[in-house]
Chain A
Amino acid sequence: MNLAAMQAALAKMVRGEAAPEGIAAGNERLSPSEQIDIYREQFFLRHRDALR
Chain B
Amino acid sequence: MDWFEIISENFMGAGGRAIENLDRLRAHYRVIPHGVSLAIGSVEPLDEAYVARLKTLLARIDPPWFSDHLCWARAPGVHLHDLLPLPYTREAITHVVERVKRVQGMLERPFALENVSSYMTFRADEMPEWEFYAEVAEKADCGLLLDCNNVYVSSQNHGFDPTKYIDAVPADRVVQMHLAGHTDKGTYILDTHSDFVKDEVWALYRRAVARTGAVSTLVEWDDDIPEWDVLAEEAAKARKARSEVLS
Given A3-B95, A43-B80, A46-B81, the answer on whether A28 and B159 have CB atoms closer than 8 Å is yes
Give the CA-CA distance A14 to B119 in the complex, in Å.
13
Given A3-B95, A30-B187, the answer on whether A38 and B72 have CB atoms closer than 8 Å is no
| A3 lies within 8 A of B80 (CB) | no
- Interface residues in B49-91 (C-beta closer than 8 Å to A): 72, 75-76, 78, 80-82, 84, 86-87, 89, 91
Given A24-B122, A25-B122, the answer on whether A3 and B87 have CB atoms closer than 8 Å is yes
| A34 lies within 8 A of B43 (CB) | no
Tally of A interface residues using CB under 8 Å: 29
Tally of B interface residues using CB under 8 Å: 29
What residues of chain B have their CB less than 8 Å away from a CB belonging to chain A? 42-43, 72, 75-76, 78, 80-82, 84, 86-87, 89, 91-92, 95, 119-125, 157-159, 187-188, 190
Extra pairs beyond A25-B120, A36-B120 (16, CB < 8 Å): A3-B95, A6-B122, A6-B124, A10-B84, A14-B80, A14-B84, A15-B78, A24-B120, A24-B121, A30-B119, A30-B157, A35-B121, A38-B120, A39-B119, A39-B120, A42-B82
